[in-house]
Amino acid sequence: MNIPFLDNWRKRQGSTQGHALAAAVEADPDGVAELLAECELLRARAGQQGLELDDSPASLSALDQLSPRWRDDAEELPWLGNDAGLYLGTVIVRTVPGAAWDIWPSGQPVVRLESGREIDVVAAGLDWAMTGSPELSQVYGESAEN
């Protein structure tokens, strides 16, 4: 259904939300990092398979080795992929010197490396959840090299 005034409202709200999140990252980067690190669904699904996520690079390798049972649930898949990307970003930010969260104008959280390179961790997480490639540990390894 096409409702013009609603489309206009969404466009205005979408850009405002992106700016608000970017301002929050600038004002309280640690608080936003903690919020992005929650990844509740991913942690619950990993826990069900006996894996406790400890925000380490080794936990990314362990996630890569899990049986992808979540692919059977099309409704949960994008949420789990989003969490996987945020978890990947959390590990990078906590272990790669100079890495930090940044927010694109669209409101999408990304990781900015010290070199200035940006990694769209959410897209990487979604790809991993849907197809298994690239592996989370591979994306981490590439970011740690810079």
What global pTM score does this model have? Answer: 0.85
Give, for all 146 residues of the chain, the pLDDT tens digit: 445 554 554 556 555 556 677 787 788 889 999 999 999 999 999 999 999 999 999 999 999 999 898 888 999 999 999 999 999 999 999 999 999 999 999 999 999 999 999 999 999 999 999 999 999 999 999 999 86
- pLDDT of the residue at 145: 86
CB 86 within 8 A of CB 36: yes
Number of separate domains in the chain: 1
DSSP states of 50-119 as a string? T----SSHHHHHHHHHS--GGGG-TTTHHHHHHHHHHHHHHHHHHHSTT-EEEE-TTS-EEEE-TTS-EE
- pLDDT of the residue at 22: 74
Q: For residue 22, give its domain range.
A: 4-145
Tokens coding 37: 């690190």
3-state helix, strand, coil in the chain (%, to 5): 65, 5, 30
